[in-house]
Chains A and B, each alone.
Chain A
């Protein structure tokens, strides 16, 4: 892929977020708590995934007025979600000068065939992926950052683990392929040979890959980092817990020192109640299946 300057800058902004925690916030007060706890960015949204799940109905982009109050409250980057395929919502978010748009399966999809042509935008996009094919299709459309889909709003990390492991094992398989196997695999995955070749050559995705969907504790965050995530999104896990301030700071520390079990033990102590959580196989609405 030949990248424009803006696309390079957008991928590099994502690189600056590495080793960090991106937290879902619904009010300026929560945004300040997240920033003070050491979040490297916040995701501004009206309802966190657990509440979207509970409320049901159609879930849309947040009110721009609400997003602006959060942009004014913090100096770290602010992200916001638009619906899959809803390029008009994305245009609105770009007009707000949002730092990153999440084309997200957490909201109700607006298009059941097409994702947004993200190459047509200046502002960077992050997209969810369950496997290498989804990740590379989103990158081809212009995403400059990938995250696992996980199963948002559950507090159950199993899907995020599954997606991260699958991605890693597929990348290892791609690395060992011959050129003609790569041509065939590109066809099967519905991605360009060129993008697949880049993965084959570098042994990793061409953009950063964060863990998301179901991360609720410092141990969950450390698990995802040890599985190879570049950083972590925490949605409902913080502000649905008993002591958000303490839990947010603990997850930040766990991401920095994900390999140090003694420190993980220390930061995991006395955090109060975790979000209640529902098992991913007990729910009816499966968000990860949205947008492939």
Chain B
């Protein structure tokens, strides 16, 4: 049976992730409410969007605790942009805390407003040089030593792996290049690493 990937679909660019993972041979379905969590899934996607909107809906729709428990139990997670904010242990200048579990500190909107959004090309460990669109992106200010850093931009980590979590501050789902998604399904979802 092919890999079943659940994509958090409360708000944001979740369809783009579904298209990417389907092109990698996985099956995807959307998590929009608590009853969707009854279906079996092997991995979870936390997409880009607005983290305040997503986290509010996670709690209001009573999905937060169950997803937090699965993440803590080691379910593979693929997180981009807003998703990395949901996973971070600490958010700079804020007392707010979401799922946690990823021992990094992130700063929201670290590069500024939309005018400061940009594209970069950098080396992504295990994948090669990839396009990186940063859209009102957060920044990883610090990471615990156990966190493996897979890519840097401007001296800061922009992609990290910690256990079964793969998290990045940019948006590989909108580049048309599925190598990072494929790397996740080939390595993290299968426990090859």
A residues near B, CB below 8 A? 5-6, 8-10, 12-13, 15-20, 35-41, 71, 75-77, 94, 97-100, 122-124, 249, 252-253, 255-257, 260, 263
Question: Is there an interface contact between A9 and B61, defined as CB atoms closer than 8 Å?
Answer: no
Question: Is there an interface contact between B119 and A9, defined as CB atoms closer than 8 Å?
Answer: yes
Closest chain B residue, CB of each to CB of A100: B114
Q: Of the candidates A9, A16, A75, A263, which one forms a contact with B13 in the assembled complex, judged by CB atoms under 8 Å apart?
A: A16
Question: Is there an interface contact between A123 and B11, defined as CB atoms closer than 8 Å?
Answer: no
Q: How far is the CB of A244 from chain B (nearest CB, A)?
A: 15
Question: Is there an interface contact between A97 and B81, defined as CB atoms closer than 8 Å?
Answer: no
| Distance A10 CA – B50 CA, assembled complex (angstroms) | 15
Question: Is there an interface contact between B56 and A37, defined as CB atoms closer than 8 Å?
Answer: yes
B102-142 contacts to A (CB < 8 Å): 108-109, 112-115, 117-119, 133, 135-136
Which residues from A are CB-within-8-Å of B112?
97
Q: Of the candidates B11, B50, B119, which one forms a contact with A256 in the assembled complex, judged by CB atoms under 8 Å apart?
A: B11
B152-187 contacts to A (CB < 8 Å): 171, 174
Contact A99 B53, CB 8 Å, known A256-B32, A257-B33: no
Contact A124 B12, CB 8 Å, known A37-B56, A253-B60, A257-B33: no
Q: How far is the CB of A115 from chain B (nearest CB, A)?
A: 20
Contact A18 B13, CB 8 Å, known A8-B133, A76-B52: yes
Which residues from A are CB-within-8-Å of B136?
13, 16, 77, 99
Residue B14 CB within 8 A of the other chain:
yes
Question: Is there an interface contact between A9 and B56, defined as CB atoms closer than 8 Å?
Answer: no
Residue B16 CB within 8 A of the other chain:
yes
Which residues from A are CB-within-8-Å of B49?
16-20, 40
Question: Is there an interface contact between B11 and A18, defined as CB atoms closer than 8 Å?
Answer: yes
Which residues from B are CB-within-8-Å of A123?
114-115
Question: Is there an interface contact between A252 and B135, defined as CB atoms closer than 8 Å?
Answer: no
Residue B10 CB within 8 A of the other chain:
yes
Contact A77 B114, CB 8 Å, known A12-B133, A18-B12: yes
Closest chain B residue, CB of each to CB of A258: B32
Q: How far is the CB of A231 from chain B (nearest CB, A)?
A: 8
Question: Is there an interface contact between B16 and A252, defined as CB atoms closer than 8 Å?
Answer: no
Q: Of the candidates B13, B57, B109, B115, which one forms a contact with A15 in the assembled complex, judged by CB atoms under 8 Å apart?
A: B13
| Distance A99 CA – B15 CA, assembled complex (angstroms) | 23
Q: Of the candidates A5, A35, A39, A122, which one forms a contact with B115 in the assembled complex, judged by CB atoms under 8 Å apart?
A: A122
| Distance A15 CA – B12 CA, assembled complex (angstroms) | 7
Residue B9 CB within 8 A of the other chain:
yes
Question: Is there an interface contact between B57 and A252, defined as CB atoms closer than 8 Å?
Answer: yes
Which residues from A are CB-within-8-Å of B12?
16-20, 40
Question: Is there an interface contact between B53 and A39, defined as CB atoms closer than 8 Å?
Answer: yes
Question: Is there an interface contact between A41 and B50, defined as CB atoms closer than 8 Å?
Answer: yes
Closest chain B residue, CB of each to CB of A256: B10
Which residues from A are CB-within-8-Å of B50?
16-17, 20, 40-41, 76-77
| Distance A20 CA – B57 CA, assembled complex (angstroms) | 11
Q: How far is the CB of B53 from chain A (nearest CB, A)?
A: 4
Question: Is there an interface contact between A15 and B174, defined as CB atoms closer than 8 Å?
Answer: yes
Residue B76 CB within 8 A of the other chain:
no
Which residues from B are CB-within-8-Å of A10?
114, 117
Q: Of the candidates B10, B114, B115, B119, which one forms a contact with A19 in the assembled complex, judged by CB atoms under 8 Å apart?
A: B10
